[in-house]
Amino acid sequence: MTTLKDPPRNILVPIDFSEPSEKAAIAACALAAKTGATVHLLHAYVIPVESVGLALTVSQQYVEQFVKESKTQLQELAAKLCPGASLGPLLVESGDPREVITEEAKKLHAELIVMGTHGRRGITRALIGSVAESVVRTAHCSVLVVR
């Protein structure tokens, strides 16, 4: 695990289009605007392929349309929340968000991941799990969690 001795040059911000992830983007972009870092917005998604024992067929056309719409949403979000920050390519990747976030951070040589948390507790957290908690435990770099 690395520590922040110098300002980060690459900041990864996972976006699930929720209010907590927007707050994380605002924080990351404010930091980037002050330090000259590049912000990389990432939307990780999972398309279910099996539900209640029935195989679902997901067409390639559907996936391509979903990715296109997600990139459009990321562009709109970046324009709204990150006007003063340098942005890297907008990333839309398929897979378990816990794994996608940590892998993309490695690929980008990110020194910092800034992410939101929903603040779930109790049985909801036990059933759903916490992406933020998993990323904090497994990331190669520092993680700033914004509530």
> How much is the pLDDT for 136?
92
* Domain 10-146 in this protein, CATH class: alpha beta
Q: pLDDT tens-digit profile of 84-113?
A: 899 999 999 999 999 999 999 999 999 999
What integer best gives the mean pLDDT of the chain? 87
- Helix 131-138 / helix 97-108 crossing angle, nearest 10 deg: 40
What whole-number distance in Å separates Cα of residue 137 and Cα of residue 69?
A: 31
**Segments making up each domain of the chain, as ranges:** 10-146
Q: pLDDT tens-digit profile of 20-57?
A: 999 999 999 999 999 999 999 999 998 766 544 555 56
96, 145, 147 from 121: Cα distances, Å: 21, 16, 13
Mean pLDDT on 58-76: 91
Three-state secondary structure call for residue 54: strand
* pTM score: 0.87
